[in-house]
C-alpha cells in the first residue's frame, strides 16, 4: 500500500506543469498607446524653409495624430540664419510639439557651442517661432577660459550669446581678452 501511494505521488509530480516566467510584463508601456514608434529617428525643424535644428533620437513615440513626439536618447544640432552649425544638444529625453513648434529636452541636458561654451541643466525648452532657448531650473555655464556661471532660470539664443539670467547663484571669473 505504501509503495502504491509513493508511486501515485511520483506520477502526479511528473505530470504537473512547470510555470516559467511570464512572456510579457503585465503593465502598460508608452509604446502601447503610441500612434507610431520609430527607432533611429531623424527630424528637421525648419522656419520658412531654413533649417533651424536637426534632432536625432534612439527611439521616438508619436502621439496626438503624430503632432507630438516623445523621444529617448536625444542628439540635436542648432543652425544659425545662414545655415551654419551653432550648437549641439544632448539629453536623455525630449518632447517635440509640432503644433507649438517647440522642443523640450529633459535629463542631463548639455548644449555645447562651436566656440566651446557648455551649458548644463536638467531641463531646457527651445521655441523655434522666436529662436529662443529657455529654462526655469538650475544651470551651469562654463566657457573654455575657465569662467563658470551658475544660476536658476535663463533665456538665450541657441548659440548662448544673448544670455539673460533670472537668478545668479555664483560666478567664477577668468581672464578677459580686451580688444585693442
Q: What is the CATH number of the domain that holds 37?
A: 2.60.450.10
In a domain, 1, yes or no: no
In a domain, 178, yes or no: no
Please check whether residue 81 is in contact with residue 74, taking contact to mean a CB–CB distance below 8 angstroms: no
* Confidence grade of residue 23 (pLDDT, cut at 50, 70, 90): low
Report d(CA 102, CA 32) in Å as an integer: 25
Q: 72 vs 48, which has greater pLDDT?
A: 72
Q: 55 vs 10, which has greater pLDDT?
A: 55
pLDDT score recorded for residue 120 = 97
Give mean pLDDT, residues 44-73. 91
Structural domain span for residue 165: 31-172
In a domain, 9, yes or no: no
Here the contacts of 71-76 (C-beta below 8 Å, separation 24 or greater) are: 71/41, 71/95, 71/96, 74/105, 76/103, 76/105
- DSSP structural state of residue 8: H
Q: How far is CA 58 from CA 19, 36, 80, 93, 136, in A?
A: 35, 14, 25, 10, 26
In a domain, 89, yes or no: yes
Domains held by the chain: number: 1
- For residue 18, pLDDT beyond 80: no
Report d(CA 94, CA 114) in Å as an integer: 22
Q: Left (φ > 0), alpha (ψ -120 to 50) or beta: where does 130 sit?
A: alpha
In a domain, 20, yes or no: no
- For residue 15, pLDDT beyond 60: no
pLDDT in tens, 135-149: 999 999 999 988 999
Q: 35 vs 142, which has greater pLDDT?
A: 142
Q: What is the mean pLDDT of the chain?
A: 86
If we measure between CA atoms, which residue out of 163, 95, 165 comes closest to residue 123?
95
pLDDT in tens, 112-135: 999 999 999 999 999 988 989 999
pLDDT score recorded for residue 4 = 61
- For residue 176, pLDDT beyond 60: yes
- For residue 153, pLDDT beyond 80: yes
Cell digits of residue 113:
557651442
Amino acid at each position: 500500500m505504501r509503495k502504491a501511494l509513493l508511486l501515485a505521488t511520483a506520477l502526479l509530480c511528473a505530470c504537473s506543469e512547470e510555470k516559467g516566467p511570464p512572456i510579457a510584463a503585465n503593465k502598460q508601456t508608452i509604446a502601447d498607446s503610441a500612434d507610431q514608434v520609430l527607432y533611429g529617428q531623424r527630424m528637421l525643424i525648419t522656419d520658412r524653409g531654413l533649417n533651424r535644428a536637426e534632432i536625432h533620437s534612439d527611439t521616438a513615440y508619436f502621439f496626438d495624430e503624430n503632432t507630438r513626439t516623445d523621444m529617448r536618447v536625444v542628439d540635436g544640432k542648432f543652425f544659425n540664419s545662414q545655415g551654419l552649425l551653432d550648437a549641439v544638444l544632448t539629453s536623455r529625453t525630449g518632447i517635440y510639439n509640432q503644433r507649438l513648434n517647440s522642443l523640450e529636452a529633459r535629463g542631463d541636458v548639455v548644449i555645447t557651442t562651436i566656440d566651446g561654451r557648455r551649458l548644463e541643466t536638467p531641463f531646457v525648452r527651445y521655441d523655434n517661432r522666436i529662436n529662443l532657448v529657455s529654462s526655469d531650473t538650475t544651470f551651469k555655464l562654463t566657457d573654455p577660459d575657465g569662467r563658470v556661471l551658475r544660476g536658476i532660470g535663463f533665456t538665450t539664443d541657441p548659440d548662448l550669446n544673448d544670455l539673460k539670467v533670472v537668478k545668479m547663484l555664483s560666478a567664477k571669473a577668468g581672464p578677459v581678452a580686451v580688444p585693442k
